[in-house]
C-alpha cells in the first residue's frame, strides 16, 4: 500500500506543505490543496504578518521547523491576485 | 470522517509487519507511553499517500539499522482519533501532523519528524534522518 495515493488528479503540490507569500506581506504556511476560481486553498495554516508585534519572520520559521506548523486556520483561501509566490516549505531558505 | 477500515487495514498491517505495536485506545496509549523508560518511536500513521506512502517504508528501512528504538508503537490519525489525540498529549509541544514520528527517550522527545520533513523526500532520505537519530539516542536493541 506504500505510495498509494487516495486522491489522484491534483496538482503536484497537492498535500505538500508550502509557504505562500502574498503581495501584501502576509505569509502563510499550510498544506496546499488546490487552486480554485476563488484562489488557492490551503489546509491547517499558520500565519505570519511582519510588524504585527509578534515574532520575526526568522523566529517564526525557526519555530515552525522545530515544532511544526501550528495551524491558526483549518482552511484558508488566498485570492489568486494576492499570491506572490508559493514555495515548498522544505525548499524555503530558512528550512 | 474515517476511511473504510478495510481500506486502511493494509496500512496497519504494514506497521505491524515491521514490528510496531498498534495503540488503538486511550488505555493502550497510556499503557505504552505512561511509564516512560528507554527509547520509543511513536509513528502517527496516516492514509495520505502523499507523505505516509513514503513514511512507512522509511521507518521500515530505518528499523533495519543496528541502532534502533527499544519500542516502536503506532497510532492512526483520522482512524483511531481518541488514541491519536492522547498520544499527541505526550508530545504536546509539537504541532500535530500526520504522518509524523516522535522519538522519545525516557519520555522526552529527542527527535521529531514532521510531515513536512517527509513530503517530497524519498524513503531513503527519511530513513537516513531517522538512523542518524537512532545512532545518537538509541542503544542497540531489538524491537
Range with the lowest mean pLDDT among A52-61, A76-85, B121-130? Answer: A52-61
High-pLDDT (> 70) share of chain B, %? 94
The x, y and z cell numbers of residue A54, run together, are 509578534
Residue B82 reports pLDDT greater than 70 = yes
Looking at beta carbons, which residues of chain B come within 8 Å of A63?
Answer: none
Reply yes or no on whether B138 is catalytic.
Answer: no
pLDDT at B143: 53
Domains and CATH numbers, chain A: 17-88 (2.30.30.100)
Distance from CA of B54 to the nearest CA of A (A): 6
Residues of A near B (Cβ–Cβ under 8 Å) read 1-7, 14-17, 44, 66-71, 88-90
Looking at beta carbons, which residues of chain B come within 8 Å of A2?
Answer: 14, 53-54, 56-57, 123
**pLDDT, average across residues B3-22:** 93
The bridge status of strand B71-76 relative to strand B21-22 is: parallel
**Residue predicted with more confidence, A15 or A7:** A15
Domain boundaries of chain B, sorted by first residue: 5-134
Q: What is the DSSP string of B42-107?
A: EEEE---TTTHHHHHHHHHHHTTSSS--SEEEEEETTTSHHHHHHHHHTTTTSPP-SSEEEEEETT
| Residue contacts between A and B (CB atoms, under 8 Å) | 64
**B5-134 maps to CATH 3.40.30.10:** yes
Residue A87 reports pLDDT greater than 50 = yes
pLDDT at A2: 40
User: With a cut of 0.95, is the ipTM above it?
Assistant: no
Chain segment B29-59, per-residue pLDDT in tens? 999 999 889 999 999 999 876 677 789 999 9
Q: Evaluate if pTM is beyond 0.90.
A: no
Amino acid at each position: 500500500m506504500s505510495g498509494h495515493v487516495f486522491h489522484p488528479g491534483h496538482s503536484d503540490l497537492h498535500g505538500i506543505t508550502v509557504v505562500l507569500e502574498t503581495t501584501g506581506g502576509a505569509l502563510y504556511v499550510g498544506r496546499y490543496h488546490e487552486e480554485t476560481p476563488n484562489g488557492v486553498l490551503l489546509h491547517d495554516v499558520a500565519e505570519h504578518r511582519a510588524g504585527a508585534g509578534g515574532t520575526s519572520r526568522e523566529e517564526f520559521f525557526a519555530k515552525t521547523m522545530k515544532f511544526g506548523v501550528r495551524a491558526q486556520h483549518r482552511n484558508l483561501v488566498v485570492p489568486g491576485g494576492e499570491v506572490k509566490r508559493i514555495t515548498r516549505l522544505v525548499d524555503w531558505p530558512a528550512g | 470522517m474515517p476511511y473504510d477500515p478495510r481500506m486502511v487495514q493494509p496500512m496497519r498491517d504494514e506497521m505491524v509487519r515491521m514490528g510496531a505495536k498498534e495503540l488503538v485506545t486511550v488505555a493502550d496509549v497510556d499503557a505504552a507511553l505512561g511509564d516512560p523508560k528507554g527509547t520509543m518511536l511513536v509513528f502517527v500513521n496516516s492514509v495520505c499517500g502523499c507523505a505516509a506512502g513514503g513514511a512507512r517504508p522509511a521507518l521500515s528501512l530505518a528499523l533495519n539499522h543496528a541502532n534502533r528504538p527499544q519500542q516502536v508503537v503506532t497510532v492512526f490519525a483520522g482512524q483511531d482519533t481518541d488514541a491519536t489525540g492522547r498520544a499527541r498529549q505526550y508530545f504536546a509541544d509539537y504541532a500535530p501532523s500526520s504522518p509524523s514520528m516522535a522519538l522519545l527517550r525516557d519520555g522526552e522527545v529527542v527527535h521529531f519528524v514532521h510531515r513536512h520533513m517527509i513530503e517530497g523526500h524519498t524513503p531513503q532520505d527519511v530513513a537516513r534522518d531517522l538512523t542518524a537519530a537512532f545512532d545518537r539516542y538509541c542503544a542497540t536493541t531489538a524491537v
